[in-house]
């Protein structure tokens, strides 16, 4: 049922679509997609071009804005916006520990999840575009993984696009997951060093927490087993504009005195479980490394294997010395499927995905080299999540792509920078900047 409602300055309409699970089998099983149409109140009856937003992730539904937050206000000056919950996320047909058993056992679940990468998301966009726009092409805004999807869009269905805008999401066209993580760990180390330079008091705090976790079995209120390695993974927040400050405030309230001695505070545990749990976005953990699979090589828990090449991230070795504890970043590890109660039932499914050898290419280098769609991309100077060198190599490989390389923002620049980031990139696609 279609519902239309209002928020300050905007009119919103719920949109529902049915698409094939496998677009190569259009008469087979279907899934549901949800999207939220947004238009400025004073333009609600105007015939406007469309912009479709592809969220970062994988595994997150589209932003739930109130009014014209972040970049949305700029977009609404000239577009109707479609905030798409990519397949398996948000209000679209869910894929999680509760629903995946409907598929059958782990092997059937893993086969199902092979249909949740960028190529399927783009084919979803093309399937619903005629219904949304009447067949007219639209502009796509891809943030992070949404940018990966956008590069696939340019590779496979450029006729559906009038322009493409990418923020923090230019992927390598040919890197294996191992290449991605070998580039990632040194970036993560730089982000941690910058954090400790800002907050030197956090060096001892982080060591004390890790030491406590090595000596004690800590289970958070939601059932998450907080190990020292899990604590390290809180470093994922360091890639955002306010992440270092957030981590600092978290660490300073870690311990309380109890009759039994120092213990991790309830407040600390409550915030940590919210940061570490994948209950709201399990696809992020399940298919994260699969987004880099493009040939017969398995991903095979790439981040875990490559981490072993960087012994400075080893907790026990760090605590045996006097150096600072290194946090980790956007990496998925097999132990997460033991620690997180929302992932535990999916451990075997994840193992099967990690072992797959039938991944197909996601990008067409020849077609990108002949690209005719106006494209602009924000490349953040030392993005913790997406390697800058990989992004710039891809930028050179896409004909006509214009970059804005900046150290003014972190990976979430399109949110933190508000209308300014989108305004700059749209101007680049129009040769106005």
Structural domain boundaries in the chain: 4-174+363-429, 177-355
- Indicate the DSSP class of residue 410: -
Q: What dotted CATH number matches 4-174+363-429? A: 3.40.50.1820
Per-residue pLDDT at 2 exceeds 80: no
The pair phi, psi for residue 282, each rounded to 5°, is -65, -25
308-352 pLDDT per residue, tens: 999 999 999 999 999 999 999 999 999 999 999 999 999 999 999
**Around Cβ 359, how many Cβ atoms within 10 Å?**
19
Mean pLDDT of 187-197: 97
Mean pLDDT of 71-99: 97
Mean pLDDT of 178-195: 97
* Confidence at 1, pLDDT banded by 50, 70, 90: low
Residue pointed to by tokens 């306010």:
242
- CA 220/CA 331 separation, integer angstroms: 21
- Helix segments in 216-346, DSSP class H: 228-232, 243-252, 266-276, 282-287, 302-307, 315-320, 336-339
Per-residue pLDDT at 247 exceeds 60: yes
DSSP string computed for 75-140: HTTT-EEEEEE-TBSTTSSB-STTTGGGG-SHHHHHHHHTT-SHHHHHHHHHHHHHHHHTT--EEE
Tell me the torsion sign for CA atoms 389, 390, 396, 402. negative
- CA 151/CA 304 separation, integer angstroms: 27
Per-residue pLDDT at 278 exceeds 90: yes
- Positions annotated as catalytic residues are 144, 358, 411
**Around Cβ 9, how many Cβ atoms within 10 Å?**
13
Task: Identify the pLDDT of residue 418.
Answer: 81
Per-residue pLDDT at 69 exceeds 90: no
Q: Where are the beta strands (DSSP E) in 170-301?
A: 218-219, 225-226, 255-258, 261-264
Mean pLDDT of 222-242: 97
Dihedral Cα 87, 89, 94, 98, nearest 10 deg? 140
367-425 pLDDT per residue, tens: 999 999 999 999 999 999 999 999 999 999 999 999 999 999 999 999 999 899 999 99
Q: Is the separation of the CB atoms in 33 and 120 below 8 Å?
A: no
Per-residue pLDDT at 39 exceeds 60: yes
Which residues make Cβ contacts (< 8 Å) with residue 354, sequence separation at least 6?
Answer: 289, 298, 299, 300, 301, 334
Which residues make Cβ contacts (< 8 Å) with residue 241, sequence separation at least 6?
Answer: 409, 410, 412, 413, 415, 416
- CA 93/CA 102 separation, integer angstroms: 12
């Amino acid at each position: 049922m279609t519902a239309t409602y209002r928020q300050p300055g905007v009119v919103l309409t719920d949109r529902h679509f049915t698409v094939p699970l496998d677009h190569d089998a259009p008469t087979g099983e279907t899934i549901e997609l949800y999207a939220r149409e947004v238009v400025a109140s004073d333009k609600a009856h105007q015939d406007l071009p469309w912009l479709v937003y592809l969220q970062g992730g994988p595994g997150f539904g589209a932003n739930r804005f109130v009014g014209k937050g972040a970049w949305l206000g700029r977009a609404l000056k000239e577009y109707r916006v479609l905030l798409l919950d990519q397949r398996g996320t948000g209000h679209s047909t869910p894929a999680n520990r509760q629903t995946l058993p409907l598929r059958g056992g782990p092997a059937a679940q893993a086969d199902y999840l092979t249909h949740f990468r960028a190529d399927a998301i783009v084919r979803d966009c093309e399937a619903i575009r005629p219904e949304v726009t009447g067949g007219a092409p639209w502009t796509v805004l891809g943030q992070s993984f949404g940018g990966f999807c956008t590069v696939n869009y340019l590779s496979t269905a450029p006729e559906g696009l009038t322009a493409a805008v990418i923020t923090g999401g230019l992927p390598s066209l040919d890197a294996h997951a191992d290449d991605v993580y070998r580039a990632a760990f040194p970036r993560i180390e730089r982000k941690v060093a910058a954090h400790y330079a800002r907050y030197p008091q956090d060096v001892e705090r982080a060591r004390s927490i890790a030491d406590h976790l090595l000596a004690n079995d800590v289970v958070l209120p939601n059932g998450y087993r907080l190990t020292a390695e899990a604590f390290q993974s809180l470093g994922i927040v360091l890639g955002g504009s306010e992440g270092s400050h957030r981590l600092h405030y978290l660490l300073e309230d870690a311990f309380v005195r109890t009759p039994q001695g120092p213990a991790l505070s309830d407040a600390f545990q409550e915030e940590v479980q919210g940061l570490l749990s994948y209950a709201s976005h399990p696809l992020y953990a399940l298919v994260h490394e699969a987004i880099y699979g493009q040939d017969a090589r398995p991903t095979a828990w790439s981040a875990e294997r490559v981490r072993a090449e960087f012994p400075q991230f080893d907790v026990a070795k760090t605590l045996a010395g006097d150096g600072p504890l290194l946090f980790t970043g956007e990496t998925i590890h097999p132990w997460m499927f033991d620690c997180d109660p929302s992932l535990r039932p999916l451990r075997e499914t994840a193992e099967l995905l990690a072992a797959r050898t039938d991944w197909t290419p996601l990008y067409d280098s020849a077609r990108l080299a002949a690209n005719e769609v106006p494209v602009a991309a924000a490349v953040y100077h030392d993005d913790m999540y997406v390697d800058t060198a990989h992004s710039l190599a891809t930028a050179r490989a896409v004909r006509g792509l214009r970059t804005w390389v900046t150290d003014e923002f972190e990976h979430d620049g399109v949110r933190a920078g508000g209308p300014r980031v989108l305004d700059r990139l749209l101007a680049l696609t129009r040769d106005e900047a």
